[in-house]
């Protein structure tokens, strides 16, 4: 995507997040609530939306067009994404290009899920053929077992200790305490983190995201078309990677490593100028891997970064609490959380968790665990319009 893309995020909407949905709550009702909130935030009517993108593990048998009908949207641009943790970034890229080239004026991007714990377990066991045919018969217990191996490799390769991941969990919980939407807001101590029950060695309870029900929505349009009270947030650059190493690596790098220089070149500035980072946090190890791939960890010293920049300095990373404390509404919806938080920060309306003077942000997506680790990765650089 060329620098100077004429597309911006102008509105954010979020539903309630809950661990256990009530009988009258469903994926559709959560998405409805997020859409209503986003339209109100943009000061738009549903009749003004002519583009729609959605990702969800739990809207079936409905598809994107069925959801558009239920929401009363008449469209000329439609997209449905199925790429898990990178779906939100994929949709943002398609939406930004769609607005830039005139395929649609105002594109509503939505992500939501309400699988329940049992439903999520079923998805985890049948995620793809590699999982259902090769991993599930072993009783691997879903992605936790896969990423326990990646985490162990990362610890050995970079000299990380278990407590280094605890710095991230504790910092994100502190940010979550300032987010009224987060499902876990009570302070977390290192003692509690280290004493937590084992899930898949070395992963313990606080290394694994809690499954929640909820939805998120944003609206993408041209910067000069924004009419709400908040500054548009421009999409400066966005890049994607799919199956970059054919699952033949060690999982310690992500597809972001293949495009990071190009991403920063397109943005017109580098990682040192980023004020807020929203990094897809399905596991602490993958946050560090993505930050390193982006060039945001000096000298690739992951241990020092975890102890000093995250543990000591509380660097503005995942300032809404991340999925580890705010909750993961299915794999796809979690990525839109990070984008939405970046927008709120750049518009100066993140409340108690506001980063003073935030002007530039980076958001990432990572996911679609294939056999050994995630096969998709994406990143976007955002900037508050003058």
Q: Answer yes or no: do 149 and 277 share one domain.
A: yes
* Neighbour tally for 162: CB within 10 Å: 14
List the CATH number of the domain containing 45: 3.40.47.10
Q: Answer yes or no: do 48 and 196 share one domain.
A: no
Q: Answer yes or no: do 30 and 106 share one domain.
A: yes
76-124 confidence digits (pLDDT tens): 999 999 998 999 999 999 999 999 999 999 999 999 999 765 555 566 5
Mean pLDDT of the chain: 93
Q: Answer yes or no: do 48 and 146 share one domain.
A: no
* Full domain range(s) for residue 285: 140-210+236-384
Q: Answer yes or no: do 17 and 111 share one domain.
A: yes
Q: pTM of this prediction?
A: 0.94
CA distance 177 to 184: 8
Residue 328 DSSP label: B
Q: How many domains does the chain have?
A: 2
Report residue 1's pLDDT band, with 50, 70 and 90 as the boundaries: very low
Q: Answer yes or no: do 35 and 155 share one domain.
A: no
Report residue 334's pLDDT band, with 50, 70 and 90 as the boundaries: confident
Q: Answer yes or no: do 222 and 354 share one domain.
A: no
Report residue 44's pLDDT band, with 50, 70 and 90 as the boundaries: very high
Q: Answer yes or no: do 265 and 376 share one domain.
A: yes
End-to-end CA separation in angstroms for the chain:
21
Q: Answer yes or no: do 144 and 33 share one domain.
A: no
Q: Answer yes or no: do 255 and 288 share one domain.
A: yes
Looking at residue 128, what is its pLDDT? Answer: 73
Q: Answer yes or no: do 78 and 162 share one domain.
A: no
CA distance 199 to 325: 17
11 bridge partner residues? 219
Q: Answer yes or no: do 261 and 172 share one domain.
A: yes
Residue 29, in any domain of the structure: yes
Residue 128, in any domain of the structure: no
């Amino acid at each position: 995507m060329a620098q100077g893309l004429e597309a911006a995020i102008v509105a954010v909407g979020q539903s309630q997040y809950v661990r256990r949905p009530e009988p009258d709550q469903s994926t559709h009702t959560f998405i409805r609530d997020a859409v209503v909130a986003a339209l109100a935030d943009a000061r738009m009517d549903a009749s003004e939306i002519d583009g729609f993108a959605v990702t969800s593990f739990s809207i079936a048998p409905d598809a994107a067009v069925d959801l558009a009908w239920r929401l009363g949207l008449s469209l000329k641009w439609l997209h449905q994404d199925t790429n898990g943790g990178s779906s939100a970034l994929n949709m943002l890229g398609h939406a930004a290009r769609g607005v830039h080239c005139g395929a649609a004026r105002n594109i509503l991007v939505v992500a939501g899920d309400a699988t329940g714990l049992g439903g999520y377990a079923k998805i985890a066991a049948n995620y793809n053929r590699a999982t259902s045919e090769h991993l599930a018969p072993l009783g691997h217990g879903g992605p936790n077992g896969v990423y326990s191996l990646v985490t162990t490799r990362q610890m050995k390769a970079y000299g990380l200790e278990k407590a280094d991941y605890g710095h991230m969990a504790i910092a994100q919980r502190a940010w979550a305490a300032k987010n009224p939407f987060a499902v876990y807001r009570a302070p977390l101590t290192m003692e509690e983190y280290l004493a937590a029950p084992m899930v898949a060695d070395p992963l313990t309870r606080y290394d694994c995201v809690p499954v929640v029900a909820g939805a998120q929505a944003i609206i993408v349009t041209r910067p000069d078309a924004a009419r709400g009270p908040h500054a548009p947030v421009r999409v400066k650059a966005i890049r994607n990677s799919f199956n970059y190493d054919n699952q033949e690596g060690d999982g310690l790098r992500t597809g972001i490593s293949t495009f990071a220089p190009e991403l920063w070149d397109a943005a017109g500035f580098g990682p040192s100028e980023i004020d807020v980072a929203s990094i897809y946090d399905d596991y602490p190890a993958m946050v560090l891997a993505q930050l390193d791939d982006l060039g945001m960890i000096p000298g690739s010293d992951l241990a020092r970064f975890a102890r000093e920049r995250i543990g000591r300095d509380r660097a503005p990373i995942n300032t809404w609490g991340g999925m580890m404390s705010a909750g993961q509404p299915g794999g796809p919806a979690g990525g839109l959380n990070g984008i939405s938080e970046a927008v709120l920060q750049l518009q100066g309306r993140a409340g108690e968790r506001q980063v003073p003077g935030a002007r530039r942000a980076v958001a990432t997506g990572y996911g679609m665990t294939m056999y050994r680790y995630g096969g998709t990765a994406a990143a976007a650089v955002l900037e508050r319009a003058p």
